[in-house]
Amino acid sequence: MKKYLQELRRCAELEDGSGRPFPDFVVANVENAAHGFGVTKENLTELREAGVDIFSGGNHTFDRKEIFAFIAEEQYLLRPANYPEGTPGRGHCLLEKDGVSLAVINVMGRVFMEPLRSPFLIAEELVEELKARTPIILVDVHAEATAEKVAMGWYLDGRVSAVVGTHTHVQTADERLLHNGTAFITDAGCCGPTDGVIGMAQDGVFRRMVKQLPSRFEIAPGPAAACGVLITIERESGRATAIERVRWQSEPEND
CA dist 185 and 175 (Å) reads: 4
**Which of 142, 164, 226, 218 shows the shortest CA–CA distance to 191?**
226
CA dist 181 and 159 (Å) reads: 8
Kind and range of the H or E run holding 10? helix 2-12
> Which of 35, 60, 167, 179 is labelled catalytic?
60
CA dist 47 and 42 (Å) reads: 9
Is 60 in the active site? Answer: yes
CA dist 16 and 165 (Å) reads: 35
Q: At what angle do helices 119-130 and 146-156 cross, to 10 degrees?
A: 30
Catalytic residues: 60
